[in-house]
A and B are shown apart, each in its own frame.
Chain A
Amino acid sequence: MDTLASLAHGMAVAVQPMNLLFALIGVLLGTAVGVLPGIGPALTVALLLPVTYKLDPGGSLIMFAGIYYGGMYGGSTTAILINTPGESASMATALEGNKMAKAGRGGPALATSAIGSFVAGTIATLGLTFLAPWLVEVAVQFGPEDYFALMCVAFITVSATFGDSPVRGLTSLFIGLTLGLVGIDKLTGQARLAFGIPELLDGVEVTTLAVGLFAVGEALYVASRHRHTKETLEPVRGSLWMTREDWKRSWMPWLRGTLFGFPIGALPAGGAEIPTFLSYSTEKRLTKHPEEFGKGAIEGVAGPEAANNASAAGTLVPLLTLGLPTSATAAMMLAGFQQYGLNPGPLLFADKPDLVWGLIASLYIANVMLLVLNLPLVGLWVRLLAIPTPWLYAGILVFATMGTIAAKPSVVELTMLGVFGLMGYAMRRYDYPIAPVVVGLILGPVAESQLRRALSISLGDPLVLVQSPISATLLAIAFIALVAPFVMRGLGRFKAEED
């Protein structure tokens, strides 16, 4: 009952006009960036961080969550109509969705993905509501060594376990960890890797790294491939409404997709790609219309779309209760919390219940807003795709640099933005995952301080790491997760890219 009371209280916070406005702005922006190729929710939150610095923390975080959810809705539109997933979590949707659009069934494809996203998003938010308080009670007992072990698990699973290549994933992670070392060591006040440059003493800004990797890197990559790609926009033909048959074939995939998406999103396994592809292959196996798969089967759209929305809500569980980001967007949201001096975790639930429960309650509202925005108004969103590509990317780059200029108008910071952009380009070109770099930069310093705290409490005895049963178990999991992909190459089938 405690949970319901907290949720009711949160709802009262979420329906305050300013918070409703923030949620609306969030879902509008989120849908827009989801529809537009080249920018995803992670980049959008990164761009907004410097701008929202002076706004109300609760409202800004509600907006960021709206962007996350909205991005998941919007991505499906692009995947279905031009076969270019707006974000990688929609790759599975594109497989059948674009075939449906080509066959003149774009309307029902968009409808099943919007309604499926709503169903899955709402169920998964319920899951978040009831799982989070329970996990908070567990997390209260965590000591610094347990947190350190937990971060080790996150490092390994995000970079090595589910990627194409563990070596490439770990390479990305260690570049992030290296960047995380830059700046003044908080315990002894000594500068590390600053090379006498004053701007580096504060460390590498998360936003500069994220904007460089995502925005500049993506623009460079798409520009370099511009002459080699052709896109065709399928017009939305036929009725938008689903027939009775469509409903009958959609509702089970929605529920199964949710069952894949939420737990996998909640585990520190990272990303929405794994559950979407799991859902796709499951629907392909269970369908009564196997002949339609590959030609536009509605199950292949309904399942993955539900899975990617459910996983977005799932990712918020470790983020809010443990401060553990498991996807690029969650990492940027964590940076959002940190910008206001807030640290997600059990303490935040105790200290700022208004903020946490207001945020959770606003997710229900965001889902309803998104259903309304995406079903009848889908035609409006499609018009966004009419923006000429040169202007789209020119605009993205202008906004990317503007955020950095507003936060720190220095030549050093802008040069770093360019360097990270080139790095992002090279990583895209040679297929190194990008999310582990951001996670490494954000979590690296946290993991280091937890480890040092644990060892100073134990007077330097490293055995403390294996004496705590929680920490010992988590370290064992991290070790298995690291070794498994080398032992069983088959695990590397799933692509883990930034979402």
Chain B
Amino acid sequence: MQEAGTRRRPDPAAIAIAAVLLVLALILFWDMSRLEISSTYGLGPKAMPIVVAIGLALLGIGNLVIAFTTGLPEPEPADPKPILLILGGLAALIALIGLGGGFIPATAILFAATSAAFERRAFLTDLLIGAVLGLVAYLLFDKVLTLSLPAGPLERLL
């Protein structure tokens, strides 16, 4: 944490967050203006979005103030690579589910990708572990809890 006072350089993260909040406020305002029907008495559906949009705008300004004064607490060092690996695994899972590849292969890929993000170098073994985990979960959900999970070619064999 830095002492209160003016910084030499504004905090880029706080500026980004402030920008997101201001854009959100604009979107809320725009969306609210398209609503037509309102209640006879009292508040219509527009009131809450207006209040929240004003709040977001004020907080956007508040975060800008933080950016130019104290800044956010100094974040700890972080690597981008593991984040990309996990998000990649998640994207693969979404694609497989979306394209009808089935639950088990999707789970296996997410498992192996996350494990790789934590610097384990045994992708194939982890893929297999993930597949077994997916299989057990699939059977548990499908047969015991009677909740259906998306099925692909592999699941239809069970």
Binding site for B on A (CB under 8 A): 50-51, 53-54, 164-165, 167-168, 170-171, 174-175, 177-178, 181, 185, 187-190, 192-193, 216, 219-221, 223-228, 388-391, 393-395, 397-399, 401-402, 405-406, 409, 411, 414-415, 417-418, 421-422, 425-426, 429-431, 444, 448, 451-452, 454-456, 458-460
Contact = CB atoms under 8 A, between A and B. Distances in A.
Interface of B: 13-14, 17, 21, 24, 27-28, 31-32, 35-39, 41-45, 47-49, 52, 55-56, 59, 62-63, 65-66, 72-73, 75-80, 82-83, 85-87, 89-91, 93-94, 97-98, 103, 106-107, 110-112, 114-120, 126, 129-130, 133-134, 137, 141, 145-150
Given A51-B145, A192-B35, A223-B117, A178 B24 contact: yes
30 contacts: A51-B141, A54-B147, A167-B62, A168-B66, A181-B49, A187-B39, A193-B27, A221-B78, A223-B82, A223-B83, A223-B86, A223-B118, A224-B78, A225-B76, A226-B82, A227-B119, A390-B115, A391-B115, A393-B114, A394-B118, A395-B133, A398-B110, A405-B103, A411-B98, A422-B87, A430-B13, A430-B73, A456-B41, A456-B42, A459-B42
Given A167-B62, A171-B63, A406 B43 contact: no
A422 B91 CA distance: 13
Nearest to B118: A390
Nearest to A405: B149
A21 to B, nearest CB: 15
B42 A460 contact: yes
B91 A409 contact: no
A398 B133 contact: yes
Given A50-B147, A174-B56, A223-B83, A181 B48 contact: yes
Contacts, number: 213
Contact of B94 (A50, A54, A411, A431): A411
A437 to B, nearest CB: 13
B150 A430 contact: no
Given A177-B55, A226-B119, A395-B111, A192 B49 contact: yes
Q: Which of A401, A422, A431, A456 has the most CB of B within 10 A?
A: A401
A494 to B, nearest CB: 15
Contact of A402 (B24, B37, B48, B107): B107
A219 B59 contact: no
B31 A421 contact: no
A430 B147 contact: no
Given A192-B35, A456-B39, 6 more contacts: A164-B73, A167-B65, A181-B49, A192-B32, A227-B119, A402-B107
Contacts of B87: 220, 418, 422
Please report whether the interface of chain B is mostly helix, strand, loop or mixed according to DSSP: helix
Nearest to A185: B45
Nearest to B119: A226
Given A167-B66, A171-B21, A174-B52, A190 B103 contact: no
B137 A402 contact: yes
B147 A397 contact: no
A389 B146 contact: no
Contacts of A168: 66, 72
Given A220-B83, A460-B41, A226 B118 contact: yes
Contact of B145 (A54, A181, A187, A393): A54
Contact of A401 (B44, B93, B115, B126): B93
A171 B97 CA distance: 34
Nearest to A432: B17
Q: Which of A175, A393, A394, A397 has the most CB of B within 10 A?
A: A394
A402 B116 CA distance: 20
Q: Which of B28, B36, B86, B145 has the most CB of A within 10 A?
A: B86
B135 to A, nearest CB: 12
A167 B79 contact: no
Contacts of B73: 164, 430-431
Q: Which of A220, A225, A402, A425 has the most CB of B within 10 A?
A: A402
Contacts of B39: 187-188, 452, 456
Contacts of B147: 50-51, 53-54, 406
Q: Which of B27, B145, B150 has the most CB of A within 10 A?
A: B145
List the 3 shortest-distance A-B pairs measured between CB atoms, nearest first. A455-B42, A390-B118, A223-B82
Q: Which of B43, B75, B76, B111 has the most CB of A within 10 A?
A: B43
Q: Which of B72, B76, B90, B148 has the most CB of A within 10 A?
A: B90
Contact of A227 (B79, B129, B145): B79
B115 A394 contact: yes
Contact of A225 (B45, B49, B78, B94): B78
Given A394-B111, A401-B110, A459-B42, A388 B63 contact: no
Nearest to A402: B137
A188 B46 CA distance: 11
A2 B82 CA distance: 58
Contacts of B77: 225, 228
